[in-house]
Structure formats: structure tokens, C-alpha cells
Structure 1
Amino acid sequence: MTEGLEAILTDPAGAVIGLDFDGTLAPIVSDPEAARIHPAGPGVLARLGDLVGSLVVITGRPAATAVEYGSLDKVPGLVVLGHYGLERWEAGVLATPPVHPGLGRVRAELPGLIAPFEGVRIEDKGRAVAVHTRRAPQPQAALDALRAPVTMLAAETGLAVEPGKFVLELRPPGTDKGTTLTAFLRERSARAVLFAGDDLGDVAAFEVVRSCGLPGVTVFSGSPELTVEADIVVDGPAGVIDLLDSIATTLESR
């Protein structure tokens, strides 16, 4: 048992449990619109929400989409921070900032950039736009070829590029999962923290867990093709749900 996990079990009222969505609560699928939370997820999260101080989902998706795809409106006390923290859903209320003005040009020019690449698609998230190469005949080669022009377009429009496994996301700068988790820990006066994620966008949150001065646990649920340092490594969303179920069961028995 890690020190951080022990602290969560000993003082659950002071614990923040943070979770990514895709690849952590929901299996990765070729069509992002088809992603749904692991079947056992809503029930386990509902139990956990009654047992720990704070439960938060921090995702690159729009907050309302994560709530819908995860049936998260039934989880007591849950906060969903969408678009890496630009949006906040809590108790059925969604708070959103203005849309970045550079996204209009991105929407106009991205189709031409990806046109030569078979199977590459665009996902419009409203406040961000993502280029997915997962369906390309050679996903990594397509990603590598698109990285420079997509990065240039982002720079010209005042956006940032968030890379992931077979995805390049153009989004407003200045917010990532690390800064968002830091602010949430401060808001909730956390005394311990766990964060689970599966991709490069979660590394910033992992670094916060390690450096924030609180007892902490990092949980990696991603592909073995990615090298990410974490305290606990589990097998995809099923492994995350099993771990959370174990935490809930232990707390319920105390």
C-alpha cells in the first residue's frame, strides 16, 4: 500500500480523487462519439462519492459530454472539469467561458490539412478541435506527418496543441490538467490526492500529485506503448474501476 493510498483510507474526508475520462473511465474506441463509461463505473463512483471528500473528473472533453457519456449526473458531489478545466459542471449547473476566436480559422483550414490522409478525422469539441489518426492505415505515420502543420496552425491562431495517442488537439492555451488539479486541491483544502489517467495529457496531473506536498497516488491505465511513471499501473478502465471499487469497499467496512 502506498503512503498516499493509506492516507486516503485513513482520512477519506480530506481526500480528492481525480479521474480522466477516456481510457480511464471509458475504454478507448475508434469513434470518440461512441465512448461510454465502463458498465460498472457509475455504481462504483456513486458509492465512492458518498465516502470521500471530493470526486472530480478532469477531461479534455466538453464537461456536458463527459456527464452524458458517463451517466455522471447520478454521482453525489461529483465535479466535472471539461476542456482541461475551462468548463465546470457541478450539481447540474454548467459554467463555460467564451469560445476562443482562433477556432473559426482552425475549423476552416483543418479539413484541407488532413485531406491527403486516409482515415484521419476531425472531432469538433466546441471549445477545442482534435485531429484523430487512429483510423488511418498507418496511424503513427499520419500523426507524425500532421504534427508540424497542425502545430503551425495552432501558433498562428493563438491556440495550443495537446498531443495524445494518435490525436493532436488544438485548444486555448494556459490550462492543463496539472494547473486545474492544483487549483481544485487548493479549493477543497485537500489532505490527500489520487489521480488516474492514461495518456500524455495526464502527465501534468501526475507531476502535481508528486510535487504538491500531499500524500498522493498516481494510477496509470494506458497502453504499455507509453512510458509513464506511476505508483500503480492497472489494465485499462476495468482496472481503474476495480481499484476504486476496492477503495470503496475498504471504506465501507470501516
Structure 2
Amino acid sequence: MSLPQPSTDTGRTALEALLEKPSGLLAAFDFDGTLAPVVEDPEASAPYPGIVEQLTDLASLVGNVAVVTGRPAATAVRLGGLERVPGITVLGHYGAERWVDGRLLAADPPPGVSLVRQELPGLLERTGAPEGTWIEDKGRSLAVHTRRAAEPEAALAMLIPHLSELAERADLQLEPGRLVMEIRPSGVDKGEALTALVTERQADTVLFAGDDLGDLPAFEAVAQLRERGVSGLSVCVHSSEVAVLSEVTDLLVEGPAGLSELLGSLIGAIRAQRS
């Protein structure tokens, strides 16, 4: 299986760098929509078949493997079986939590989260949120999903002004996603989390793969890290629901299946370089 080539010069340079020195690579991945297909019930989420085994193989070949997700870190580990990947770091809640070697490190959530938890059900009732709209409580944030509604885009558009007002009162921020709006603490995002981890691990090259609007800060961080001398490869795990990401990334793959193919090719190429 041939290794896909990035569409940008900077991406091709990063790919060459990581193949030349795999030990200097930090490979980081979003969870939902990237390692795992998007499903209606987040608790039913599961990794694409074989992809965790590929992460295990990759971890034996490169410097660091990480998952950076909006999910609670422990939830991603549980649903993904990520504890099977040696040395993996899981940054949850956009970097507010860290799971490594079975240990979870996290500060207390801000008080505004409790306010949102208390008021959000009544808000949905008062505004006439359509059937199929539901709340996901992530502990440090709350998300409103409309994927199950008859007209999910219209339902989300109707709710946005009300959710925005609640987020403002709670001193939190409103984060858009694929048929979901999340009210979460400000001051943390995947870009900051990725940059901090790259700096901590002194990586020479970074690869980040993501599929949703919440991954944009991480893609921007890859570009900024290049200015600091860190080669960067950004991979868009393409979805028709969020087409804009393909315009700001170096390499496009089709869904988690496409990412799995890329990982298989990358693992093979690194092994070939060693032999």
C-alpha cells in the first residue's frame, strides 16, 4: 500500500522529516469522527476496527502517541480501549484533563458548569426544542445534540441564540460541532493542549488528525509550530458535514477508514526505512 502524499509543500516536508526520524514524532488524534465513526449515541462510540492495534504498532515506532479530545479523558480511554496503547497520553476536555499510565490529572471545573447543568433542561423545554434534541453531560461541559431531530440543522440554528445567552451568563464559551453545540470553559482548546504537549516532549515533528470544528485550533497550532522549527503534518479526516477543514490541512483522508489506511501505510513506510 503506497503512502499518500500531502497536497502542500510543508506537509511533504513534515512527512519526509517523520520518516527520517520517527523517534522525534508526536502523533496526535481526535477521537470521535477520527479514530471512531460518529454515532447518534456517544456512549455507543467505538474505534474503527483495527485502528487501536495500529496505534499500538505506531507507538512502538515513534516518539509519542496521543489523543486530544473534547470527551472526558477517562471516557475516551474506556470507549476506545486506549489503555492497550503503550505510553499513550490522552488529553480530555480539550486539554483540561490528562490521562497517562492509568492516572487522571484534572482541576475542578468552573462554577458556571453547574449553572448550565441546572438551567439547560428548562431552556430546551421553554424554547420548544424539537423531539430528538438531547443533552450530553460531560462533567466539565454540557453539549446539546440535534442529530436525532427530524430537521437537525434547523433545530440547532434555532437553539444557538439561547445557548449563547446561557453560556455568557455562566462565563463559559459556546463551541460548535457536527450537529452539536457545547457549552464549556474558556481558556482551553486543542491547539493549546497540542502545543504544550509538543513542547513538553520536545518533538521534532507533529502529526495531528481531526474531523470537526473543535479541531481547527489544533490545525492552527501545527502551522504555528512550524514557525518555531517543528515540522508539522495536518490530516483532515473528511466529513461532508464539516468540509471547511480540508481547506486548511495538508492531507485529506475519507473518514476513520481512510485514517486507518493512512496509519497502515505510515507504519509500513517507517518499518521499511528501518530495514
The TM-score bracket by the shorter chain reads over 0.9
Q: Distance in 2 between matches of 1:215 and 1:96?
A: 30
TM-score of the aligned structures, taking structure 1 as reference length: 0.97
The aligned amino acid for 1:98 is D
Partner of 2:94: 84
Is structure 2 residue 154 aligned with structure 1 residue 141? yes
Given candidates 23, 30, 52, the residue that maps to 2:62 is 52
Q: Distance in 1 between matches of 2:59 and 2:160?
A: 39
Partner of 2:24: 14
Is structure 2 residue 178 aligned with structure 1 residue 178? no
Is structure 2 residue 134 aligned with structure 1 residue 121? yes
Alpha carbons 2:178, 2:241 under 8 Å: kept:
no
Partner of 1:187: 200
Which structure has the highest helix share of the two? Answer: 2
Q: Distance in 2 between matches of 1:132 and 1:5?
A: 37
Residue ranges of structure 1 left out of the alignment (5+ in a row): none
The aligned amino acid for 2:101 is A
Alpha-carbon offset, residue 251 of structure 1: 1.3
Alpha-carbon offset, residue 99 of structure 1: 2.2
Given candidates 153, 169, 184, the residue that maps to 1:156 is 169
| RMSD between superposed Cα atoms in Å | 1.0
TM-score of the aligned structures, taking structure 2 as reference length: 0.90
Q: Distance in 2 between matches of 1:232 and 1:222?
A: 10
Q: Distance in 2 between matches of 1:224 and 1:211?
A: 27
Is structure 2 residue 115 aligned with structure 1 residue 105? yes
| Aligned sequence identity (%) | 50
Alpha-carbon offset, residue 160 of structure 1: 1.1
Partner of 2:144: 131
Q: Distance in 2 between matches of 1:234 and 1:161?
A: 28
Task: Kindly tell me the number of residue pairs found equivalent between the two proteins.
Answer: 254
Partner of 1:220: 236
Cα offsets for 1:140-185 (capped at 9, x unmatched): 1111111111111011011111111111111111000011111111
Q: Distance in 1 between matches of 2:264 and 2:252?
A: 16
Alpha-carbon offset, residue 106 of structure 1: 0.7
Q: Distance in 2 between matches of 1:27 and 1:251?
A: 26
Partner of 2:9: none
Partner of 1:235: 254
Q: Secondary structure at the match of 1:234?
A: strand
Residue ranges of structure 2 left out of the alignment (5+ in a row): 6-11
Cα offsets for 1:181-212 (capped at 9, x unmatched): 11111101111111000000001100111121
Alpha carbons 2:190, 2:218 under 8 Å: kept:
yes
Partner of 2:85: 75
Alpha-carbon offset, residue 105 of structure 1: 1.5
The aligned amino acid for 1:192 is T
- The structure 1 segments of at least 4 consecutive aligned residues displaced by more than 6 Å after TM superposition are none
Q: Secondary structure at the match of 2:238?
A: coil
Q: Distance in 2 between matches of 1:122 and 1:76?
A: 34
Alpha-carbon offset, residue 240 of structure 1: 0.9
